[in-house]
Amino acid sequence: MELTGLILLAAGASTRLGQPKQLLEYEGQTLIKHAIDTALQVIPTPLIVVLGANAELLKNEISSSKVHIVNNPNWEEGMSSSIRCGLHTLLKISPAIDNVILMVCDQPYVSASLIKSLIAEREQALKGIIACTYKNTLGTPVLLNKKYFSQLLNLNGAEGAKKLIKKFPDDVSTISFPLGFIDIDTAEEYEQLINNSFSGFK
């Protein structure tokens, strides 16, 4: 059975929101705590959380000893730096890891069953990349096999897994995540989340 780790990317500064989106509350807990608790239901270890902006504030929300926190000093470079930082840490902790799931904090409808579906699709389809599909796009959470680790470590700037999804379409399988389009970048989007009023909300 393959070993799958998970990297939660939580280093961004939430500049469009004006406050750390990771600390927004939804259904009684912060978005970062929800994401960690959800991931731990499926991936007890290794779970890597990459922090950057507001790291000290966010650390207060992470209580589980099963979480490996890593600070990304280059978070301002963009998502690629957090992916590199998280993957380096994951490979140090678990060199034999077969797959990694990349996940973000601001998709509040990510569930344990969705993460399990990514892993199940990898086992069934044997594709190197398993992505979520929503609103005519492919995105996070996304699982990547170890054959792509070197390319993840060579990403730059704002690049993320989507670059590899586009580069290797024949090695991509997908699972449906209709509410994946809901991510929180602005105060208006947060208000829509609280009021269940997103356009196309189901």
Domain parsing of the chain, residue ranges: 4-195
Task: Mention every residue, 6+ apart, whose C-beta is less than 8 A from residue 188.
Answer: none
Q: What is the pLDDT of residue 15?
A: 79
Place of tokens 């779970």: 47
Contact 132, 140 (CB under 8 A): yes
Q: Considering the entire predicted model, what is its pTM?
A: 0.94
Q: What is the CA radius of gyration of the chain?
A: 16
Domain 4-195 class, CATH top level: alpha beta
Residues of the chain falling short of pLDDT 50: 201-202
Q: What is the pLDDT of residue 63?
A: 79
Check residue 197 and give its pLDDT. Answer: 64
